Amino acid sequence: MDEEAARQARQRVRLQQLGVTCYRPRPAAVAAPVRRPVPAEAAQASGEAEPPPEPVLEPVVQPQGGPASAPDQGQSPGTEQPPAPARAPVESGLDGLDWDALEARVADCRLCGLCEGRTRTVFGVGDRQADLVLVGEGPGVEEDRRGEPFVGQAGQLLDRMLAAIGLDRHHGVYICNVVKCRPPRNRDPKADEAAACQPYLQRQLSLLQPRLIVALGRVPAHHLLGVTTPLGRLRGQLHRYAPVDVPLLATYHPAYLLRNPADKARAWADLKYIRRILAE
């Protein structure tokens, strides 16, 4: 066997090891197009049953920098995810509204299911020329009855906190919530409910143009900043609410402080930070 024939023989062995079928060309000068035999036809011609095809194992390509991610816990591979809940409609065309027109639009809002159980909407209260805006999560029972945010026990504590740094809810301060209607059983607002109210809140902040926004608790902090970072890690640093380009601080909700009085010292540190920013 000459060198060329030996090379071709070695090549055929390597191709066969890879599962590639090799055919020797006929010696005729002009060969007819070769048609590969279909496995089923070959099996029929020989009278033998067609063996099941061997499974093809695709190589697993891992992303650079780490192993391939595992499936989510509690979900079997290949299981379809349940459909995402329908999003509530979002209000539009608010840019030209003044305070009175915006408040009237909120009072008539029926964009999410919270409107079904409300007594009245809770638009906001305070100085519409305020340097400081406090944003809570949503109205409670008493707020729903009176139409004003933070009027229960948590509101009384908030008033004392503001007084400690020389402020009150009617002078230099504006108070509002992420949602304008009370969630049932005082639960956290759902994502679609907060999304339906977001244009109202954003328009309020655009009209106010405050020097500082303070998120009272985890829910408004997550909603305004678009993060899920624990509140303890958000405290003590200055963030920014991008839609109106205003600095934002996160601190504890007064209702949390009523349940956890040991954290009032940290809340006092936040209040002093607020006072320092407003004094600059």
Span 231-253, pLDDT tens digits: 999 999 999 999 999 999 999 99
Q: Residue 71 pLDDT more than 70?
A: no
d(CA 228, CA 164): 30
- What is the sign, positive or negative, of the torsion defined by CA atoms of 208, 209, 214, 220? positive
Range scoring the smallest mean pLDDT among 87-91, 114-118, 120-124: 87-91
Of 176, 186, 200, the closest CA to residue 111 belongs to 200
pLDDT tens, residue by residue, 175-233: 999 999 999 998 999 999 999 999 999 999 999 999 999 999 999 999 999 999 999 99
- Say whether pLDDT at 74 is over 80: no
Return the higher-pLDDT residue of 200 and 77: 200
Residue 22, pLDDT score? 56
Instruction: State the fold for domain 99-279.
Output: Uracil-DNA Glycosylase, subunit E (3.40.470)
Helices 264-279 and 153-164, axial angle in degrees (round to 10): 50
The domain locations on the chain are 99-279
Which range among 10-14, 21-25, 92-96, 114-118 shows the weakest confidence by mean pLDDT? 21-25
Q: Listing from the earlier edge strand, what are the strands of the sheet with 132-136?
A: 125-126, 173-177, 132-136, 212-216, 246-251, 239-241
Report which DSSP code applies to 112.
S
The residues, any chain, with a CB within 8 Å of residue 46's CB and separated by 6 or more, are: none
b/e per residue, 236-259, with b = 16+ CB within 10 A?
Answer: eeebebeebebebbbbbbbbbbee
Digit-coded pLDDT (tens) for 122-156:
999 999 999 999 999 999 999 999 999 999 999 99
- pTM (two decimals): 0.68
